[in-house]
Structure 1
Amino acid sequence: MTEFTVYDETDAPEAARPHLEAAKRRMGFVTTLNGVMAESPELLAGYNALSELFGKSSLPRNAKHVVWITASVLNGCAYCVAAHSTLALRSRVPAEVVEALRGGRALDDPALEAVRVFTGAMVEQRGWVDDAQVEAFLAAGYTRRHVLDIVLGIGMKTLSNYTNHIAHTPLDPAWQDQEWTAPAPA
């Protein structure tokens, strides 16, 4: 197995240090994901920029959490499922919503379920959703902008999910209570 270094703001490549320092101010600590990404300051900067932009997107707060967890579950990223489950719960997303997302189950809230279904289709079909799937999402009260905001959120998660797969990123203590294991393939 190829080993990746988990840097912090004191030993990372020089170009990555400001991004790690900013992450530490934002989160209170440097996540192991950011520490691994620091090997490529450009990846770290890109991921953090996408995270900030997705945070400003037009999707409602709980819908953003649905995108993050749904994409991470479908990509089988244990690190991101644990991290985003923790963050969702801290943001007061109902525990039953988080548990359903972690298990790949339908949500009782029709608006959030539309986000889950559309995000899942986008991930599973690699963006090749058909017009009927887009129209169903729009019929749930969303806009074309929301469609594209979901693309942004999936892009962000692709960077982190793939990094975690390659690097086997160790789970931060902050996410331990929401540790998750991908189900075995059927």
Structure 2
Amino acid sequence: MGFVTTLNGVMAESPELLAGYNALAELFGKSSLPRAAKHIVWITASVENDCEYCVAAHSTLALRSRVPADVVQALRDGKSLTDPALEAVRRFTQVMVTRQGWVPDDELEAFLAAGYTRRHIMDIILGVGMKTLSNYTNHIAHTPLDPAWEDQRWSRS
């Protein structure tokens, strides 16, 4: 990104946490999910975990990756997406986070019926795990928002 984020600076207090987060980020980047779906996971998990820092950061990164602005705004607002494939990822991630991994069978079946696989489910778990580390760190540390994310500042209304 061209700079060390304040999140990475905070995480550096535990080199293991920082290394673990960066390893998960690298692995999630290589996962089987389409590029836009990865952004859906990051933003949805961060919204559900009420992480102001991560919603701003991932909104910025999603827009830079050409995720449509209306999709990013819907995610920030916790609203459904019009694209059925992306909505399936949003919904599954939301249920995964809010139900702490206890996803009901009908939600699993709906996700699979949308054309996704069990591997995609495991990859979403990886993304949620990654965001849990950063979301919880930001909650504890009250991580200051980087200037690069300022245009996408977010808080739950």
1:107 alignment partner, SS class: coil
Q: Deviations over 1:3-53 (max 9, x none)?
A: xxxxxxxxxxxxxxxxxxxxxxxx100000000000000000000000000
**Residue type of the alignment partner of 2:50:** G
Name which of 40, 44, 67 aligns with 1:66: 40
TM-score (norm 1): 0.84
Name which of 61, 68, 71 aligns with 1:87: 61
In structure 2, how many angstroms separate the alpha carbons of the residues matched to 1:53 and 1:169?
A: 24
Q: Give unpaired runs (5+ residues) of structure 2.
A: none
Residue 78 (structure 1) aligns with? 52
In structure 2, how many angstroms separate the alpha carbons of the residues matched to 1:171 and 1:121?
A: 27
Deviation at 1:159, TM superposition (A): 0.1
Residue 112 (structure 1) aligns with? 86
Residue 39 (structure 1) aligns with? 13
Supply the RMSD in Å over aligned alpha carbons.
0.4
Deviation at 1:64, TM superposition (A): 0.3
Residue 146 (structure 1) aligns with? 120
TM-score (norm 2): 0.99
In structure 1, how many angstroms separate the alpha carbons of the residues matched to 2:149 and 2:105?
A: 38
Q: Give unpaired runs (5+ residues) of structure 1.
A: 1-26
The answer as to 2:10 corresponding to 1:29 is no
In structure 2, how many angstroms separate the alpha carbons of the residues matched to 1:179 and 1:140?
A: 32
The answer as to 2:123 corresponding to 1:170 is no
**Residue type of the alignment partner of 1:164:** N
Residue 133 (structure 2) aligns with? 159
**Residue type of the alignment partner of 1:50:** L
In structure 2, how many angstroms separate the alpha carbons of the residues matched to 1:177 and 1:101?
A: 16
Deviation at 1:182, TM superposition (A): 1.7
Deviation at 1:151, TM superposition (A): 0.2
Give me the identity figure in percent: 80
Structure index of larger Rg: 1
**Residue type of the alignment partner of 2:120:** H
Q: Deviations over 1:107-147 (max 9, x none)?
A: 01000000000000000000001211111100000000000
The answer as to 2:98 corresponding to 1:124 is yes
Q: Could you list the structure 1 runs, at least 4 aligned residues long, displaced by more than 4 angstroms after superposition.
A: none
